[in-house]
Structure 1
């Protein structure tokens, strides 16, 4: 159990470093696309360094008139 926890934490830290290197963490998050891309990049972890460059596009629902 302890080894699994360490692996998960290291995986997420590597993903956080990858997001920081791509300058995703500078500035404010203005839309759903940016937030989703940052999240997926962090979750991808070390896969970012073997060629994975996740990009997500999404739309938030607009209020009815």
Structure 2
């Protein structure tokens, strides 16, 4: 169980490093698509280094009821 947890943490750290190298942490995302792109990049982990470049082009957040 510890090995699986360690692998997951290492996977996410590698994804965070890739997002940092792409400059995603330089400023806050302007919209939910930017935040989604950062999240997908971190979740993709080491796949970022073999050509995966996840991007969220649009997203719609639900509006609160009035």
Unmatched tracts of structure 1, length 5 or more: none
Instruction: Write out aligned runs for 1:1-65 (5 A).
Output: 1-57=1-57, 58-61=59-62
**Normalization by structure 2: what TM-score?**
0.88
Q: Cα RMSD over matched residues?
A: 1.5
Cα offset, 1:62, TM superposition: 5.5
CA 1:63 to 1:16, structure 2 compared with 1: closer, same or farther past 3 Å? same
Structure 1 segments (4+ residues) deviating >6 Å: none
The answer for unaligned runs of 5 or more in structure 2 is none
Q: How many residues align?
A: 64
